[in-house]
Chains A and B, each alone.
Chain A
Amino acid sequence: MSASDAKRAKHEIGETNAKGGGYFSARDHQGKLELDCDVVVVGSGASGAVVATELAESGWRVIVLEEGANVPSALHGQMRQSESLRHAWRDGAMVMTVPLGDSPAINVTMGKCVGGSSVLTGGVCFRIPGAVLKHWREELGLTRLTEREMEPFHQHVERAIHVEEVPAEMRSRGTNLFWEGATRIGLEMKPMRRNTKGCEGCGRCNFGCPHGAKMSVDLSYLPRAVEHGAQVWSHALIEKILVKNGRAVGVRGRALNREGGNPGDTIEVRAKRVVVAAGAWHTPVLLMDSGLGNPRMVGKKLTLHPAFRVIARFDEPVQGWKGALQSAYSDSLEHLGITYTGLHIPSGVLGATMPGVGVEHTNNAKHIDHLAMFGGLLHDEGGGEIHRVPRWLGGGREPIVTYRMSERDRAKIGINLRTMARAFFAVGAREVYLPVLGLRGVDADGLARVPLETLPARNFECASQHPLGSATMGSTEKRSVVDDEGRVWGVGGLHLADGSVVPTSLGVNPQLSIMTMATRMAWRMRERGVDA
């Protein structure tokens, strides 16, 4: 157990510290829950925790509301991976986009627990790329977002979450094989940076670090916020932002998972400032349900970094789960909009990718410990849109999300997959499993015969962990939802802080970028004062 986890463990749920801070579960509260504070933060993930902590440490009275459960770090090591899926992930990681045009159906995974998706990432940290900032300045008019402007925020977050390079000895054998093969075919491989301290390389970051070594915000930020008086409420679903005279004055929602299966009581939090950090999937839902934000832009321009994996079978054992889950990347094809990142997935999920049924399937699955894999994500142009289905039409609180992949992004899939496959064949892979539904393993000769460029995109398995930009930042009210400090145009006291404000896709894992932008937003709020 890490020091910060041990510190957090001292605060039992429901226990209040000397400054009034603590972790609470809304389902333990009987009757209507009414609270009052300076700033209420909806969402406890990478951005919400940052804003809450920065402001709590400045003396603001902060309340954080989280829809998911509070799953302490010590429990992650006790859960099977599927138990993590059912208790800490949104919808058991079975969220899919609806494909439009020639697009794949994309499986989008998100966290739903205190700490949000930061608990379930591989911990990969990239700064906002300079080329992306340049595009934002020159094409979108976000002239203040220079590398120099962002530098202190990047540094501040990197210190807080302990960003460090993954040492070579911690790379898994699967990653080393890809590294060697990629180098042979001319790609430059680089070590990744992650937010870890004392990582043992057990390869299960995506299911919550069992050793408290990944500095997710439930360990690195929220304990600091609580220490300074912030209250973190789990099982608190917020359904509406309250507005009075054009100014946000609080939020309303309800407690979830009440004992006996009964609907929970109402929660109402009054605040001088409302910060929405519910993620790019749900922040626009809250805005739509509250009738706030530019209706022509809310829910539009969603980008996903559609990602594809290639699995390779070797004659010798690989045991890809031994080592850091993600430890290397290549941006050699960034000019084409492709970034390669190392990864590994659990044996069960690997089993599902093994083609065939019965004897064929189980024989293929016997080679799971001989498999290596790598992923390639697309720096996509967008095409995602979040839709609200009215309750009278059977819509619940979850949105329908459509994704229309652009022709240029579709054209990248073939080169993306062929390059990864070539890298594996360069180091002796017997065969590769491409992410094409129903396709058997192919050898080097067979690869050339798979029509990746012309297959219907719906035949591809595709995943995303990076929903961004559904309530984007911009320089004018007409073309965006928030200004460059995250303030919602036309509504006083309402701020967005999460990935929804990121104006375009980044081409790299966004956790650090989101936290950096949230820090900048919190510092600007602090400078202006709580009553501004």
Chain B
Amino acid sequence: MPAENAVKAPASYEDPPVLDLPDRVRGRSGLAPRQRETARAVAEALFATEAGPPDGARLDWLCEDLDHFFAHAGERAKLTFVLCLLAIAVLAPLMILRLPPFRRLSRAHRAHALERFEQSPLALAVFGAKAVLCILWYEHPASRAQIGDDGQCMGRSKQLEVIR
């Protein structure tokens, strides 16, 4: 039976990473809805290819995984990420003379704003957000295949035992 905090990958992906971790840690929160929206907006701009933005279901999965990550990684980790998102949400639009919030910008404007932000003295905020999003994004079998990673050093994606 799936754990309460199980995260399911979209059905269209074969061999999806399984996050069915019945580790009995409840009462912990991941990201707030607004923070998830901003993270998704960053990811949609960051991982766009010549073919266009990433698949919506794939972004849904990323956000679920992100939420689970911060529900378990600790409050300090979440605070660091949220501060990075906050800087992006408020300051990145100003760098291209647009009004915040970041998530309401068009995808092209978001990409432009992030590029400018990455070149600014506050680049660490973009790097912090990008680091977590990339770790999760490029673990997915579909992304791994795109970057030539054969997954040799990846987990086997089996359902895990109880971690105690």
**Is there an interface contact between B163 and A69, defined as CB atoms closer than 8 Å?**
yes
The 8 A CB mask of B128-150 against A (1 = contact, 0 = none) is: 10111111111100001011111
**Is there an interface contact between B26 and A25, defined as CB atoms closer than 8 Å?**
no
**Is there an interface contact between A75 and B161, defined as CB atoms closer than 8 Å?**
yes
Chain B residues near A96: list those with CB within 8 A: 80
Complex interface: stretch among A48-56, A241-249, A342-350, A503-511 = A342-350
* B33 CB-CB contact with A under 8 Å: no
The 8 A CB mask of A348-369 against B (1 = contact, 0 = none) is: 1101100111111110011011
**Is there an interface contact between B154 and A80, defined as CB atoms closer than 8 Å?**
yes
Q: Measured between C-beta atoms, what is the minimum distance from A400 to chain B in Å?
A: 10
**Is there an interface contact between A349 and B134, defined as CB atoms closer than 8 Å?**
yes
Chain B residues near A90: list those with CB within 8 A: 74
| B:20-37 near A, CB below 8 Å | 21, 23-28
* B61 CB-CB contact with A under 8 Å: no
| B:55-76 near A, CB below 8 Å | 65, 68-70, 72-76
* A197 CB-CB contact with B under 8 Å: no
Q: A317-B148, A321-B149 are in contact. Are A78 and B156 (CB under 8 A)?
A: yes
| B:93-140 near A, CB below 8 Å | 111, 114-115, 118-121, 123-124, 126-128, 130-139
Q: Which of A69, A91, A461 contacts B127 (CB 8 A)?
A: A461
Chain B residues near A330: list those with CB within 8 A: none
Q: Count A/B pairs, Cβ under 8 Å.
A: 193
**Is there an interface contact between B72 and A79, defined as CB atoms closer than 8 Å?**
no
| A:189-204 near B, CB below 8 Å | 202-204
Chain A residues near B77: list those with CB within 8 A: 91-94
Q: A91-B77, A366-B146 are in contact. Are A351 and B164 (CB under 8 A)?
A: no
A511 to B111, CA, bound (A): 43
Chain A residue nearest to B48 (CB atoms) is: A358
Chain B residues near A188: list those with CB within 8 A: none
Chain A CB within 10 Å, residue with most, of B47, B49, B130, B147? B147
**Is there an interface contact between B152 and A203, defined as CB atoms closer than 8 Å?**
yes
**Residue count of chain B within 8 Å CB distance of chain A:** 66
**Is there an interface contact between B127 and A352, defined as CB atoms closer than 8 Å?**
yes
**Is there an interface contact between A259 and B124, defined as CB atoms closer than 8 Å?**
no
* A81 CB-CB contact with B under 8 Å: yes
* B86 CB-CB contact with A under 8 Å: no
Q: Which of B45, B111, B118, B157 contacts A80 (CB 8 A)?
A: B157
A352 to B144, CA, bound (A): 14
**Residue count of chain A within 8 Å CB distance of chain B:** 71
Q: Which of A75, A94, A202, A369 contacts B163 (CB 8 A)?
A: A75
A433 to B114, CA, bound (A): 19
A81 to B148, CA, bound (A): 17
| A:29-83 near B, CB below 8 Å | 69-72, 75, 77-83
| A:442-476 near B, CB below 8 Å | 456, 458-459, 461
**Is there an interface contact between A347 and B147, defined as CB atoms closer than 8 Å?**
yes
Chain A residues near B47: list those with CB within 8 A: 358, 361-362
Chain A residues with a Cβ under 8 A of chain B:
13, 25, 27-28, 69-72, 75, 77-87, 89-96, 105, 202-204, 210, 234-235, 257, 259-262, 317, 319, 321-322, 346-349, 351-352, 355-362, 365-366, 368-370, 396, 398, 437-438, 456, 458-459, 461
Chain B residues with a Cβ under 8 A of chain A:
17, 19, 21, 23-28, 45-50, 65, 68-70, 72-77, 80-81, 111, 114-115, 118-121, 123-124, 126-128, 130-139, 144, 146-150, 152-158, 160-161, 163-164
9 A-B pairs within 8 Å (CB atoms) are namely: A80-B157, A82-B65, A82-B69, A82-B139, A84-B155, A87-B163, A260-B27, A359-B50, A366-B146
Known: A27-B164, A79-B155, A360-B115. 11 other contacts (CB 8 A): A70-B163, A81-B139, A81-B154, A87-B21, A91-B74, A202-B153, A203-B153, A319-B148, A351-B135, A355-B118, A368-B138
Q: In the A-B complex, list the 10 residue pairs whose CB atoms are closest, starting with the nearest.
A: A261-B27, A92-B73, A369-B148, A348-B135, A437-B123, A92-B77, A348-B138, A352-B134, A351-B134, A204-B153
